[in-house]
Amino acid sequence: MRADDLPLSNSFAALPADFYTRLMPTPLAAPYLVAASASAAALVGLTPAQLAEPELVDLFAGNRVAVRSQPLSAVYSGHQFGVWAGQLGDGRAILLGELNGPHGPLELQLKGAGMTPYSRMGDGRAVLRSSIREFLCSEAMAALRIPTTRALCIMGADQAIMRETVESAAVVTRMAPSFVRFGSFEHWYHRDKPEQLQQLADYVIATFYPELTAEANPYTALLAEVTRRTARMIAHWQAVGFMHGVMNTDNMSILGLTLDYGPFGFMEAFDPGHICNHTDQQGRYTYANQPQVGHWNCYALGQALMPLIGDVDAAQQALALYQTEFAATLDYLLHAKLGLQTVQDGDQALLAALFELMTASHVDFTNFFRALGNFQSTAASDTVLRDMFIERTQFDDWAARYRARLQAEHSNDARRKEAMDAVNPKYVLRNYLAQVAIDKAVASDYSEVARLLAILERPFDEQPEHAAYAALPPDWAHDLEVSCSS
Ligand code: AMP
Ligand code: MG
Instruction: Return the pLDDT at 381.
Output: 65
Q: Which of 90, 250, 364, 421 is catalytic?
A: 250
Name, in order, each residue with C-beta under 8 angstroms of 294's C-beta and a sequence gap of 6 or more: 230, 231, 233, 234, 247, 252, 322, 326
Distance of CA 202 to the CA centre of its chain: 26
Residue in 128, 153, 124, 177 with CA at minimum distance from that of residue 59:
153
Q: Ligand nearest 280 Cα, by number?
A: 1
Which atom of ligand 1 is the closest one to the Cα of 124? Answer: 20
Name the pLDDT band for 484 (thresholds 50, 70, 90). confident
Q: Say what the pLDDT of residue 150 is.
A: 98
Please tell me the number of the ligand nearest to residue 485's CA.
1
Once rounded to an integer, what is the mean pLDDT over residues 247-265?
Answer: 98
Break the chain into its structural domains and give their ranges: 3-179, 183-336, 338-421
Q: Which atom, in ligand 1's list, is nearest to the CA of 262?
A: 3
CA of 336 to the centre of ligand 1 (A): 37
Report the DSSP beta bridge partners of residue 173. 110, 153
Average pLDDT, the chain: 97
- Binned at pLDDT 50, 70 and 90, residue 481 comes out as confident
pLDDT digits (tens, 9 = 90+) for 79-118: 999 999 999 999 999 999 999 988 999 999 999 999 999 9
Which numbered atom of ligand 1 lies nearest the CA of 88? Answer: 10
126-141 pLDDT, tens digit per residue, is: 999 999 999 999 999 9
Per-residue pLDDT, 382: 79
- CA–CA dist 437, 439 (Å, integer): 6
pLDDT of 482 over the 80 cut: yes
Amino acid 479: pLDDT: 84
Ligand 1: residues within 6 Å at CB?
88-92, 118-119, 122-125, 246, 251, 260, 262, 484-485
Q: Which of 92, 94, 162 to mutate to test the pocket of ligand 1 (most atoms within 8 A of CB)?
A: 92
Catalytic residue check, 250: yes
- How many angstroms does the Cα of residue 484 sit away from the middle of ligand 1? 8
**Which protein residue's CA is at the shortest distance from atom 16 of ligand 1?**
485
Task: Give the SS3 label for residue 186.
Answer: helix
Instruction: Spell out a b/e string for 294-312, using b for 16 or more CB atoms within 10 Å of the CB, else e.
Output: bbbbbbbbbbbbbbbbeee
- pLDDT, position 144: 99
Atom of ligand 1 nearest to the CA of 125: 19
Considering only CA atoms, which of 67, 60, 35 is closest in space to residue 48? 35
CA distance 413 to 431: 33
Distance 473 CA to ligand 2 centre (A): 28
Q: What is the average per-residue pLDDT within 478-486? A: 84
Residue burial 472-481, b: 16+ Cβ < 10 Å; e: rest? ebeeeeeeee
If one residue of 121, 123, 172, 485 were mutated to test the ligand 1 pocket, choosing by the most ligand atoms within 8 A of its CB, it would be: 485
| Mean pLDDT score, 356-375 | 98
Tell me if the pTM is above 0.75. Answer: yes
Q: Please state the rounded mean pLDDT for residues 222-245.
A: 99
The three-state DSSP-derived secondary structure of 290-326 is HHHHHHHHHHHHHHHHHHHHCCHHHHHHHHHHHHHHH
- Looking at all shown ligands, the one closest to residue 93's CA atom is 1
> For residue 484, how far is its CA from the centre of ligand 2 (angstroms)?
9
Where would I find the H helices in 36-102? 38-42, 48-51, 54-61
Q: What is the pLDDT of residues 275-326, one digit of tens each?
A: 999 999 999 999 999 999 999 999 999 999 999 999 999 999 999 999 999 9
Nearest CA to ligand 1 atom 6: 485
